């Protein structure tokens, strides 16, 4: 985040992350660990929007990390390891939302009821 960190491009990324991505990341994690939020309808659509938006904002971030001349290879590896989960989780949400009518695949709901959210089998 070297200057000019106050440019419009960077500011838009930060605002979108704070207002949309971060709150939905918490909601999606909670929804996937419990059955309080339905797996279809608005949650499925929100997963697709969130995943696509977050993935497309992380591509330029990761590209700037990898191509940055001012960072060493070790620094690039550490930064990428911090950022990759924020790319993988949204891509996973997009995939399961796009490929399933019910994000929880029906079977997970019974597994969660029988064993609790921590020990549920994810199919």
Query: 23, 90, 84, 82: which is closest to 54 by C-alpha?
Result: 90
Whole-number Å distance between alpha carbons of 85 and 80: 9
Cβ atoms of 117 and 34 within 8 Å: the answer is yes
Does any domain span residue 58? Answer: yes
pLDDT score, position 2: 58
Does any domain span residue 48? Answer: yes
Residue 6: pLDDT band (50, 70, 90) is low
Does any domain span residue 61? Answer: yes
- Number of domains within the chain: 1
Does any domain span residue 57? Answer: yes
The whole domain housing 56 covers 41-117
Cβ atoms of 55 and 90 within 8 Å: the answer is yes
Residue 37: pLDDT band (50, 70, 90) is low
Whole-number Å distance between alpha carbons of 4 and 117: 45
Q: What is the pLDDT of residues 66-92, one digit of tens each?
A: 888 888 999 999 999 998 988 898 888
Does any domain span residue 36? Answer: no
pLDDT score, position 109: 46
């Amino acid at each position: 985040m070297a200057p000019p960190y106050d440019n419009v491009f960077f500011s838009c990324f930060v605002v979108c992350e704070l207002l949309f991505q971060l709150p939905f990341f918490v909601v999606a994690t909670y929804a996937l660990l419990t059955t309080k939020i339905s797996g279809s309808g608005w949650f499925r659509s929100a997963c697709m929007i969130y995943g696509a938006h977050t993935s497309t904002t992380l591509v330029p971030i990761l590209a700037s990390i990898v191509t940055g001349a001012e960072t060493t290879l070790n620094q690039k590896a550490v930064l990428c390891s911090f950022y990759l989960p924020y790319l993988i989780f949204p891509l996973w949400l997009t995939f399961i939302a796009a490929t399933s009518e019910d994000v929880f695949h029906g079977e997970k709901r019974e597994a969660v009821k029988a064993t609790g959210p921590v020990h549920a089998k994810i199919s």
